[in-house]
Amino acid sequence: SSPLLASTPPTVSRALIKAYPYLLFANRLLLVVTWTNEDIWLSILMVLAYNALVVYYEPLVTYVGHLLLVGIVALYTVAYRQVTLQAQQRPTLDDVIFVLNTVTVRADMLLSPITSLSLTLEDLKRLLFTTIFLTPMYIVLTFFFVNPQMLLLLSGNFVLTYHSHFSRVGRKIAWKSRTVRVLCFYLTGLNFNAHNPHHRASQLFASAVAKVTKSESTGAKPVRFTYVLYENQRRWLGIGWTSNLLSYERTAWTDEFLNESVATDEFQLPETNASARAPDTMYWRWVDKTWRLDLTNDGGLQLPRSRSKTTPDPGPDEGWIFSDNTWKKPGTEDSFGKYTRRRRWIRTAELVPIGGSATTVVTGAADTS
């Protein structure tokens, strides 16, 4: 028997046990749709079946439409029989919870292309207005260039292969093109780079250069910046905490705006050049010898007064803030409902003129990647 039975009401336990076969069916379906199955040929077969259905829809309905109905009934019967057989296996409550968590993870992955956008009401209004504005162009496109069948093929294949490895790689390569990003902006009205840290970082660096340039005449000390990187991990059932995150959530290393960054051992200071409005007589240098873990996680964790708030050599379980499966409801303790965690690394650098004094003071700070 499961140890969860003692703390779970009987009505809830019965409902979960009855839902177990359907959860298994949903899990197998999500395996195929999200391309997370070990055998990707099932996902490829799904795409081929969709293409065949769209291309040969009229002949199929005309000649074997009645057989298709029988096939649908047969598939339903087989699926229901599998559900009945699974129900007879008498799973434990732990088995049900395991499958339920797995379904939740894969469902989040399936919906992540939409949920990761975090669209506000204003974003939805802008998207609707842009779509209505482009309606004449859409009508011309479907009348003269792309027929409805081709439109179904293109859109369907895009959706069904969205989570495949080759599709992810293709989108990542395409997104590096400024033309693609601008085209997406004009087609949707959404600014996907609104929280891009590079634009903000360039403004911060320009501000730092201005301060350093001014300090040359006033005798002020160089400007010091504190770089902040977040280490993110996800707990996988049966594996534990790893840096392998879902394809469309934050990466293993991010800045405070959840934009992708490199790990601490690969991070390099930016070069000063004319495009950054920094003269050749300035350069970046580290003040701290190494990256240090913020044991308070930006004030989220309480430490004894006698203990240092940062450390260059932390333990594997120090400094973490734990959250649920969607990176919400943060807490300080690792519990059953916590599936994600992150901790904060900091390191200070300064922008100084060549030959400048090694003695510095803090005149500015920034979190960037």
Residue 248: CB atoms within 10 A of its CB come to 19
**8 A C-beta contact, residue 129 and residue 186:** no
**CA angle centred on 296, ends 294 and 298, rounded to 5°:** 80
Select from 276, 160, 289 the least CA-distant residue to 213.
Answer: 276
Which residues are registered as beta bridge partners of 331?
322
Q: How far is CA 160 from the centre of its chain?
A: 19
Strand (E) or helix (H) holding 26: helix 10-33
Residues in the chain with pLDDT values less than 70 = 1-5, 87, 193-222, 247-248, 272-281, 355-369
Distances (CA, A) of 75 to 61, 72, 82, 165, 283: 18, 5, 11, 29, 68
Select from 192, 183, 156, 203 the least CA-distant residue to 55.
Answer: 156
CA–CA separation, 50 and 157 (whole Å): 8
On whether the pTM is more than 0.75, the answer is: no
CA–CA separation, 348 and 365 (whole Å): 9
Position 340 scores a pLDDT of 93
Please report, in angstroms and rounded to a whole number, the separation of the first and last CA atoms in the chain. Answer: 49
Coil vs helix vs strand at 56:
coil
Position 322 scores a pLDDT of 94
Tens digit of each residue's pLDDT (9 = 90 or more) over 203-246: 455 555 555 555 555 555 667 888 899 999 999 887 789 988 87
Residue 182: CB atoms within 10 A of its CB come to 10
